[in-house]
Structure 1
Amino acid sequence: MSEFKVRPIQPEDDEKIAAVIRNVLIEMGVPKVGTAYEDVSLDCMYETYDKNRCIYYVVAKGEEIYGGGGIAPLIGEEETICELQKMYFLSEIRGKGLGKSVIEKCIAFAAEQNYQKCYLETMPYMEAARKLYRKLGFSSLPAPIGNTGHYSCQEWMIKEL
């Protein structure tokens, strides 16, 4: 997997990462409403994450983008809680440790930014992702927190940093 690089998003990555995320959401059968699919930020990811206490990493091979994930403050919560956001990867790179690498980079960034907890939302049928999240220290919550607008997501997790 050494041909793949995990790096911060650049402006020229916007269109490619938006396509990756939408393709993965369709592949997984995720509803288009109440999820990341309809987020306005998908088409301007660089600008969205080019802010204080935010970062978005992409998995790149040459000019191609294969996935990514990011950290941003959790809207509607204390400033000590961040959200792991838009963690999506094309099928050809799943299971190769790149998702774990992105999450670890995100968690390290979150800790550097003095976040104390990291929250995420996912779907119950995204079993491989949930297994990885648990392996990396996330635990399930009984209900959502914050105000992500992703009312169709049905699984909520959190990790102490």
Structure 2
Amino acid sequence: MEKISIRSIQEKDNKALADLIRSVFEEFGSEKQGTVYSDPTTDNLFEYFRKEKALCWIAESDGIILGSCGIYPTDGLPFGCAELVKFYLSPDSRGKGIGQQLLHKAIGSARELNYTQLYLESFPEFGKAVSMYERLGFNHIDHSLGNSGHYACTIFMLKDL
């Protein structure tokens, strides 16, 4: 069994992580404007996560990035709320519990940073991820929160911590 480590994002991860994220969007036919796919910050995620109370966890094995999951204090969110962001897994990493490890790590980190809620945005194309969010206690809400700039998203969810 491969050894998987979960660690904080590093500057050297920028290109591989941007490539992984965009490949997931392409895999699901979701390469749309108004999403992470077209967001210019996707190419410099290490810098993006250098904001106070923001973090991104990377799952890797033998130097290869398998996935990521972060929390971010998106502008315009209610007090105490952060956004769950950049949760993506490579196709061969799915179904092995890696996504759950990343999500639990991000949720635990949000609690440690004294957030009281987590918000996320997604698409119907990412149905398996949405099902996982539901199992972890995220509830659907009927509108977006905050100013992520990802106006193409159609699924909005919120979890009390």
User: 1:88-135 deviations in whole A, cap 9, x for unaligned?
Assistant: 111101111111111111111111111111000010231110110011
- Would you identify which runs of 4 or more consecutive aligned residues in structure 1 move more than 4 Å? none
Q: Which residue does the alignment assign to 2:105?
A: 105
Structure 2: which amino acid aligns with 1:118? Answer: L
Give 5+ residue unaligned stretches, structure 1.
none
**In 1, distance between residues paired with 2:126 and 2:111?**
26
List alignment gaps of at least 5 residues for structure 2: none
Matches within 5 A, 1:6-155: 6-155=6-155
Q: 2: distance between equivalents of 1:78 and 1:153?
A: 19
Does the 8 Å CA contact 1:9/1:58 hold for their aligned counterparts? yes
Q: One-letter code of the match for 1:115? A: Y
Residues 11 and 47 in structure 1, CA contact (< 8 A), matched pair in contact too: yes
CA distance in 2, matches of 1:79, 1:101: 27
Q: Pairwise CA RMSD of aligned residues?
A: 1.2
Equivalents in 1 of 2:129, 2:26: separation in Å? 16
1:74–1:119 CA contact under 8 A, matched in 2: no
| Alpha-carbon offset, residue 32 of structure 1 | 2.5
Further displaced range: 132-141 or 41-50? 41-50
Q: CA deviation at 1:42?
A: 1.1
TM-score (norm 2): 0.95
